[in-house]
Amino acid sequence: QVQLQESGPGLVKPPQTLSLTCTVSGASISRGGYYWSWIRQHPGKGLEWIGHIYYSGSTTYNPSLKSRVTISVDTSKNQFSLNLSSVTAADTAVYYCAREDIDESGSFYAHWGQGKLVTVSS
């Protein structure tokens, strides 16, 4: 079955860059047909969409984070990555990677990673 796993540092100093990688198993990013996304959840809060990428490298970002976000894909490793620059304490959150499935009526997140808590602190 499809599995996603986030990896990367759990502690980042401000104003450095937060970098996470999502490794996908059970599905090939390069086959297309899905968007690969990053979503975060601040402690005790709701979910916030960061952005997504298609296997071709085409990206869409949340306008509120667009100036600081880069999502990239490495189809040879079946991974996609998140870089969030100039972090502050407000970027402390659990970061999830997820696969966006598409059907004839719309799309939805059917597969999620377990989440990676990233704390921003000096």
Partner 1 sequence: QSVLTQPPSASGTPGQRVTVSCSGGSSNIGRNTVNWYQQLPGAAPRIVMYNYNKRPSGVPDRFSGSQSGTSASLAISGLQPEDEAEYHCAAWDDSLNAWVFGGGTKLTVL
Calculate the alpha carbon distances from 14 to 19, 24, 27 in Å. 13, 29, 35
**Candidates 17-25, 26-34, 84-92, 110-118; binding stretch for partner 1 (CB under 8 A):** 110-118
Residue 5's H or E segment, with its range, is strand 3-7
Give yes or no for a contact between 15 and 35, defined as CB atoms under 8 angstroms apart: no
Given a contact cutoff of 8 angstroms between Cβ atoms, the answer to whether 78 and 90 are in contact is no
Least CB distance to partner 1 at residue 110 (A): 5
The residue among 116 and 120 lying less far from partner 1, judged by its C-beta, is: 116
63, 88, 90, 122: residue in contact with partner 1 (rule CB under 8 A): 63
Residues forming contacts to partner 1 in the complex (CB under 8 A) are 37, 39, 45-49, 51, 60-63, 96, 103, 105-110, 112-115
